[in-house]
Structure 1
Amino acid sequence: MTDETGGHARIRRFLDEHAPASPCLVIDLETVRDRYRALAGSWPEADLLYAVKANPAPEVVGLLARSGAGFDVASPGEVALCLAEGARPESLSYGNTIKKRADIEYAHSMGVRTFTTDSLQDLENIAAAAPGSSVFCRILLEDTGALTPFRGKFGCSPETAVRLLQRAAELGLRAGGVSFHVGSQQLDPRAWDAGIAEAATVTAKLAAAGTVLDALNIGGGLPGRYTQRTPPLRDYVAAIAESIDRHFGPMGADAGTPRLVLEPGRFIVGDAGLLQTEVVLVADRGPADGRRWVYLDVGRYNGLAEAEGEAITYRIASPDKDGPPGPVILAGPTCDGDDIIYQRNVYHLPTDLGPGDRLHILNAGAYTASYSSVGFNGFPPLPTHCIDHRTDTGLRGSV
């Protein structure tokens, strides 16, 4: 399986010229630029807050800060990273609803003035530690069919959201708007409709009670390219715009169309990355299954956490061998029985594949290095190298 996009070609040249140790993730910054510009051009009036958790490489954050992006942050560490890379404090939104009061205090002391909540206790902590800040309330959505859903961990009912945003005003905070998330790697452009409808109901109820919300945060969920077919960006833009017009249009001037906020992560960095791995060994376990076991130097704990449940199925290329393909089971290098990458989904790789041969896991820029463990079984975290053909192609790494 091959991919001849410009970003992958540039990454392959870098790998051939510099031969970094395996495994490693390489990010093409020009692809990051292109994806951000595509979103900004499609939603020129929206606030685009990059979800730092998708890939926190300083080079990625710095590039997006210079491009005018805001940032969705979830911890003091992400706040500090964004500010160190030139982001303006007011461009940061603390979107994690699960946070210590000390973390709120730190973010506020650094200039962060927007927070998201979904519970009274957290709201009261924000009021005490970040007085006068703007608050979004996250509502809970039912399973929207995303490949990686949130399973009810975040959000509250619309009725609770009304009470919390009313209480926010009483506590001296500014009720900014409603937020929701349709789950990561969302393949249905219509999946945002239910959340927009709920948000419109909350907004209308608050407007009737005298509290006007001016924004709507529809989260992330825009997909990267894996083995599944994904709709084009224009389909998402059209479906979301139509839904907002339909649900918010009849409200009138006092509670009309809100300012739109998006939190893209995977869409911006996913297709910008290529993960290079080496074959450790190949084992034939007998005729019962008929598949070879191919063990890689990367697995669930040092870069491929999203292979859990085999929901995210990466495209894989073999640059070293091109013999006839045969079915394989792919597994990682650790002494953990769960460190199996793909068994239910059958991949076919060259039958002459052997130890030391490289494999390229394509479109792996999101949730790979950032999910990597600190050293499970003694295997180090996945190193990241960022390349930018506008400056140089030298080895620029961030771990």
Structure 2
Amino acid sequence: MTPMELVFPTNSHIAEEVVGTDSAGADSTVEGGDFPALATQASLSRTCRSDVGRSSIGHHASGALLDIILEADAKAALTASVQPVDRGPAGAGSGTTAAVPTAGSGAPMPPSADTSLSLLSSWQYRVTGNGAVAQVLMDFSCEHIKSGGPRGIQEVAIRHILRHDIDSDSIYCIDLAAPFRLFKAWRAAMPRVLPYYAVKCYPEPAILKLLMALGAGFDCASKGELDMMLRMGVTPGRIIFAHPCKRSCDFRYAREHGIQYTTFDTVSELHKVAEMDPEFKLVLRIRADDPGARVPLGLKYGAEVSEAPALLRAAQDLGLECCGVSFHVGSAAKNLATFTNAIENARKVFDEAASLGFRMDLLDIGGGFTGHFDELGNVMFGEIANTINAALAKYFPPGGELGDVRVIAEPGRYFAETSSTLLTPVIGQRDRVAKDGSIHKDYWLTDGLYGSFNCIVYDGQNPEYRVIRSPVQPEPTDTRPYVSTLWGPTCDSADVVYKGVTLPALRNGDWLLWPNAGAYTVAGACDFNGIEFTHPCKVYVWSDSVVDPHEEQEQGGEVAGEGQQQ
């Protein structure tokens, strides 16, 4: 069996990035690593797209030049839509082939000349400078809005509430401009580190397809996630099967579909690999805890560095190939020194592996990243990127004695968290009289701990909220603050989002807006009580700015608040 290599950025790949320019002159970049055959067309396209983006096609693009653009975009679309096929049993076959999509196959067809002309003149192409990303925005009917901050999203939500007469369903408003800008910021800040999006964090199809179009890889942890990405057209070389303890059915699926890279941290997993498919390329996961992380992972996964020599020798005895090291400092990590220490420890394992005859060439620095924007809409990522870049330069210098080690990461929260806003209507209420005679309010929402707010239990989140008054009711007569409880909609009395929070008096039909609701929310939901938490209403937007102009950061009361579980 011919191994399927992971797709990594190299100097040549970086040189082949397709750069477009929107009407404001801002660069937009797509990683060209998965389309090496398009280097010539991409370089030609690069020279003319800035003019195309700024002006109408008819005045600034000759027929020949336009043909070059259309040919490059069509080939890129075709390559991106190719579906992987079964490679057959281990040890058989001459490599991986691909089926060309045909009408009715479920895979998108290459765009016609008319379609590409429409694409190149669209607002979607103007703001992204990227044909593949523009197509994603079209496919998901993105609404172009000025502001993606809470006030801007509130305006979008009210329009959709009125347009579709929504009064009893939760709404997710997904701003695809956020992950797009975060991807650009990542590649600019850490060009050596290719992000492999952690699908588990938020398997939202629009975000997956956007990141796919940008050239990201994907971190999958199960047969279901592997199947999802392969069906979208992601090639096996852009996937790492990053779960240290896998089910046999997951192993079989990965083997049958050409997945080659997987992680391990125990001897028992090595025996499983040896039995299922000894040709897997193994990545040893080591423990790297940030004690300040929101969700520490070291108690469950990651071998101690002192255990690495024995694990490497066990792999050697079983005839297995260890090609790299991975770690995960914990979700939403805070201590920058943890990354430096982990990269230093990874180098120690590389050296130990070399002494045993292994030639490692892959470093996976895991997740733990957060992607937030400052009050001006700039990505706040520089400090952690500088720390990682310095550690990589010290312990894994390009062209050093280890050769050119390829570096990937597994960001999930970084891309997902700020992309989405959850809106929940109030569907029930009552007053309770406390012992001191004061009135306490109970409110029922359309989402709860079995839905998106499982993040409170499993991810340690403390969600913020804003009140949106019903757009179809008159202004309330009672706006006094009350101590309140927010209940989820299920029959479980433990389904409570917040207790003891102060809210203005609410009515049925009022709404709560919850920003930063993308990461580890609906991904962990279940449909308990037959309530379809896993299938909320969705609205897709593209914002010119992810922050509101002159945003007032008021806390509590009518505008904004933050709860605390009691």
Q: 1:274 to 1:132 in 2, by over 3 A?
A: same
Q: Which amino acid aligns with 1:153?
A: K
Number of residue pairs the alignment of both structures matches: 378
Q: Does 1:61 align with 2:214?
A: no
The correspondence for 1:214, drawn from 348, 361, 364, is 361
Structure 1 unaligned runs (5+)? Answer: 391-399
CA deviation vs aligned residue, 1:20-76 (integer Å, no higher than 9, x gap): 551132322222222222212222121210000111122221221111010000111
Q: 1:354 to 1:224 in 2, by over 3 A?
A: farther
Q: Does 1:369 align with 2:516?
A: no
CA deviation after TM superposition for structure 1 residue 142, in Å = 4.0
Q: 1:154 to 1:288 in 2, by over 3 A?
A: farther
Q: Does 1:253 align with 2:400?
A: yes
1:116-131 pair list within 5 angstroms: 116-131=263-278
Aligned partner of residue 186 in structure 1, secondary structure: coil
Aligned partner of residue 253 in structure 1, secondary structure: coil
Matched with 2:133 is none
TM-score (norm 2): 0.61
CA deviation after TM superposition for structure 1 residue 320, in Å = 1.1
Report if aligned partners of 2:289, 2:338 keep a CA contact under 8 Å in 1. no
Q: Does 1:268 align with 2:415?
A: yes
Report if aligned partners of 1:303, 1:369 keep a CA contact under 8 Å in 2. yes
Report if aligned partners of 2:170, 2:425 keep a CA contact under 8 Å in 1. yes
Matched with 2:484 is 328
Q: Which amino acid aligns with 1:339?
A: D
Matched with 2:494 is 338
CA deviation vs aligned residue, 1:224-280 (integer Å, no higher than 9, x gap): 559xxxx9211110122233344456x993336742211011110110101110113
Q: 1:381 to 1:309 in 2, by over 3 A?
A: closer
TM-score (norm 1): 0.85
Aligned partner of residue 199 in structure 1, secondary structure: helix
Matched with 2:457 is 308
Aligned partner of residue 359 in structure 2, secondary structure: coil
Structure 2 unaligned runs (5+)? Answer: 1-145, 374-378, 544-566
Q: Which amino acid aligns with 1:238?
A: N
Q: Which amino acid aligns with 2:525?
A: S
Q: 1:380 to 1:95 in 2, by over 3 A?
A: same
Q: Which amino acid aligns with 2:392?
A: I
Q: Which amino acid aligns with 2:497?
A: I
The correspondence for 1:135, drawn from 282, 292, 311, is 282
CA deviation after TM superposition for structure 1 residue 123, in Å = 1.9
CA deviation vs aligned residue, 1:318-350 (integer Å, no higher than 9, x gap): 12179454443333222323322233xx6443x
Q: Does 1:243 align with 2:391?
A: yes
Aligned partner of residue 162 in structure 1, secondary structure: helix
Aligned partner of residue 385 in structure 2, secondary structure: helix
Q: 1:34 to 1:225 in 2, by over 3 A?
A: closer
Structure 1 stretch displaced more, 257-266 or 306-315: 306-315
Question: Distance in 1 between the 2:255 and 2:459 partners?
Answer: 39
Report if aligned partners of 2:289, 2:328 keep a CA contact under 8 Å in 1. no
CA deviation vs aligned residue, 1:295-314 (integer Å, no higher than 9, x gap): 32211101111111783112
CA deviation after TM superposition for structure 1 residue 164, in Å = 2.4
Report if aligned partners of 1:28, 1:273 keep a CA contact under 8 Å in 2. yes
CA deviation after TM superposition for structure 1 residue 82, in Å = 0.5
Q: Which amino acid aligns with 1:377?
A: N
Matched with 1:317 is 466
1:23-102 pair list within 5 angstroms: 23-102=170-249
Q: 1:252 to 1:61 in 2, by over 3 A?
A: closer
Aligned partner of residue 416 in structure 2, secondary structure: helix
Aligned partner of residue 318 in structure 1, secondary structure: strand
1:175-254 pair list within 5 angstroms: 175-224=322-371, 232-248=380-396, 253-254=400-401
CA deviation after TM superposition for structure 1 residue 114, in Å = 0.6
Q: Which amino acid aligns with 1:6?
A: G
Structure 1 stretch displaced more, 29-38 or 263-272: 29-38
Question: Distance in 2 between the 1:288 and 1:299 partners?
Answer: 28
Report if aligned partners of 1:217, 1:260 keep a CA contact under 8 Å in 2. yes
Q: 1:69 to 1:258 in 2, by over 3 A?
A: same
Rg bigger for which structure?
A: 2
Report if aligned partners of 2:288, 2:338 keep a CA contact under 8 Å in 1. no
Q: Which amino acid aligns with 1:164?
A: L
Q: 1:310 to 1:127 in 2, by over 3 A?
A: closer
Report if aligned partners of 1:48, 1:262 keep a CA contact under 8 Å in 2. yes
Report if aligned partners of 1:185, 1:224 keep a CA contact under 8 Å in 2. no
RMSD after superposition:
2.9
Question: Distance in 2 between the 1:163 and 1:364 partners?
Answer: 42
Matched with 2:534 is 382
Report if aligned partners of 1:224, 1:363 keep a CA contact under 8 Å in 2. no
Q: Which amino acid aligns with 1:177?
A: G
Q: 1:340 to 1:224 in 2, by over 3 A?
A: farther
The correspondence for 1:286, drawn from 430, 433, 443, is 433
Report if aligned partners of 2:176, 2:419 keep a CA contact under 8 Å in 1. yes
Report if aligned partners of 1:48, 1:264 keep a CA contact under 8 Å in 2. yes
Q: 1:389 to 1:366 in 2, by over 3 A?
A: same
Question: Distance in 2 between the 1:257 and 1:162 partners?
Answer: 23
Matched with 2:160 is 18
CA deviation after TM superposition for structure 1 residue 287, in Å = 3.0
Question: Distance in 2 between the 1:189 and 1:282 partners?
Answer: 45
Q: 1:319 to 1:369 in 2, by over 3 A?
A: same
Question: Distance in 2 between the 1:149 and 1:296 partners?
Answer: 30
CA deviation after TM superposition for structure 1 residue 83, in Å = 1.1
Matched with 2:148 is 6
Matched with 1:148 is 295
Report if aligned partners of 2:371, 2:380 keep a CA contact under 8 Å in 1. no
Report if aligned partners of 2:260, 2:281 keep a CA contact under 8 Å in 1. yes
Matched with 1:396 is none
CA deviation after TM superposition for structure 1 residue 206, in Å = 2.0
Q: Which amino acid aligns with 1:157?
A: E
Q: 1:324 to 1:242 in 2, by over 3 A?
A: farther
Report if aligned partners of 1:28, 1:387 keep a CA contact under 8 Å in 2. yes
Matched with 1:394 is none
Q: Does 1:355 align with 2:508?
A: yes
Q: 1:8 to 1:158 in 2, by over 3 A?
A: same
Question: Distance in 1 between the 2:489 and 2:218 partners?
Answer: 35
CA deviation after TM superposition for structure 1 residue 14, in Å = 4.2
Q: Which amino acid aligns with 2:339?
A: W
Identical columns (%): 30
Q: 1:47 to 1:360 in 2, by over 3 A?
A: same
Report if aligned partners of 1:83, 1:89 keep a CA contact under 8 Å in 2. yes
Question: Distance in 2 between the 1:248 and 1:53 partners?
Answer: 29
Q: 1:151 to 1:334 in 2, by over 3 A?
A: farther
